[in-house]
Structure 1
Amino acid sequence: MLTLKINTIEQSASWVKRHARPLEVARWEYEFEEGSQQNVMNYLSAFQNEDGGFAHGLEPDFWVPHSNAMATWAAGRILIELDARADHEIVQKMVTYLINTSQKSGMWASVIPENSDYPHAPWWGYSEDAQNNWMFNPSVELAAMLIHWSDEEDEAWQVGWQSVSKACERLMAAEEMDFHEVSNFKQMTSLLDLHKKVFKNQTGHDYNVVLEKVKSLILHSVEQDPTKWGTSYQPFPLDFIDGPNDPLVGEFETLIDQNLDFYINEMSDEGIWDISWEWGTYPNEFAISRRYWQGILTVDRYKLLNRFERV
Structure 2
Amino acid sequence: MNKISKSKFKKTKTFITSKGRELELARFEFSFGNGSKENVMTQLKTYQNEDGGFGNGIEPDFWLPNSSPMATWAAGQILMEIGADANEPMVKSMISYLINTNDIETGMWNSVLPENNDYPHAPWWHWQEGVQENWMFNPSVELAAFLVHWSSEQSKAGEIGWISIGKAINHLMNKTEMDRHEINNYLQLIKIIKPNESTFNTKLQYSLNSVSKKIMVLAEQCADKDISTWTKGYKALPLDFIDNPKHPLCERFGPLVEQNLDLYVEQMSEEGIWDISWSWGSYPEEFEVARRYWKGILAVNRYKHLKAFGYLE
Secondary structure of the 1:192 match is helix
Q: Equivalents in 1 of 2:254, 2:84: separation in Å?
A: 32
Amino acid at match of 2:87: D
Which residue does 1:189 correspond to in 2?
Answer: 190
In 1, are the aligned partners of 2:220 and 2:249 still within 8 Å (CA)? no
CA drift of 1:200 comes to 2.4
CA drift of 1:262 comes to 0.5
Amino acid at match of 2:66: H
CA drift of 1:244 comes to 1.7
Which residue does 1:241 correspond to in 2?
Answer: 242
Q: Equivalents in 2 of 1:203, 1:115: separation in Å?
A: 35
Which residue does 2:206 correspond to in 1?
Answer: 205
CA drift of 1:176 comes to 0.4
Which residue does 1:265 correspond to in 2?
Answer: 266
**CA offset digits 1:140-196 (Å, max 9, x no partner):** 000011101111221111100100100011100000011110110111111111111
Which residue does 1:275 correspond to in 2?
Answer: 276
Which residue does 2:164 correspond to in 1?
Answer: 163
Q: Which runs of 5+ in 1 are unaligned?
A: none
Amino acid at match of 1:151: S
Which residue does 1:41 correspond to in 2?
Answer: 41
Q: Equivalents in 1 of 2:281, 2:203: separation in Å?
A: 44
**CA offset digits 1:125-153 (Å, max 9, x no partner):** 10111100000000000001110111122
**CA offset digits 1:52-85 (Å, max 9, x no partner):** 0000110000001111010000000000000100
Q: Equivalents in 1 of 2:304, 2:201: separation in Å?
A: 33
**CA offset digits 1:94-121 (Å, max 9, x no partner):** 0000001110210000000100000000
Secondary structure of the 2:248 match is coil
Q: Equivalents in 1 of 2:153, 2:126: separation in Å?
A: 37
Q: Equivalents in 1 of 2:240, 2:84: separation in Å?
A: 22
Q: Equivalents in 2 of 1:247, 1:219: separation in Å?
A: 11
Q: Which runs of 5+ in 2 are unaligned?
A: none
Task: Tell me how large the CA RMSD over aligned residues is.
Answer: 0.8
In the alignment of these two chains, the number of paired residues is 311
Q: Equivalents in 2 of 1:30, 1:224: separation in Å?
A: 33
Which residue does 1:218 correspond to in 2?
Answer: 219
**CA offset digits 1:16-65 (Å, max 9, x no partner):** 11110000011111111111110010000100000000001100000011
Q: Equivalents in 2 of 1:194, 1:248: separation in Å?
A: 20
Verify: 1:58 aligned to 2:58, yes or no. Answer: yes
CA drift of 1:233 comes to 0.7
How is 1:53-92 mapped onto 2 (pairs within 5 angstroms)? 53-92=53-92
Q: Equivalents in 2 of 1:247, 1:79: separation in Å?
A: 24
Q: Equivalents in 2 of 1:82, 1:250: separation in Å?
A: 27
Secondary structure of the 1:248 match is helix
Task: Pick which of 49-58 and 244-253 moved more.
Answer: 244-253
Amino acid at match of 2:151: S
Which residue does 1:13 correspond to in 2?
Answer: 13
Q: Equivalents in 2 of 1:173, 1:219: separation in Å?
A: 17
Task: Pick which of 228-237 and 291-300 moved more.
Answer: 228-237
Amino acid at match of 2:56: H
Secondary structure of the 2:120 match is coil
Amino acid at match of 1:41: M
Which residue does 2:32 correspond to in 1?
Answer: 32
Task: Pick which of 233-242 and 54-63 moved more.
Answer: 233-242
Which residue does 2:99 correspond to in 1?
Answer: 99
Q: Equivalents in 1 of 2:135, 2:154: separation in Å?
A: 31
Q: Equivalents in 1 of 2:251, 2:83: separation in Å?
A: 26
Question: TM-score, with normalisation over the residues of structure 2?
Answer: 0.98
Q: Quote the sequence identity (%).
A: 49
Amino acid at match of 1:265: E
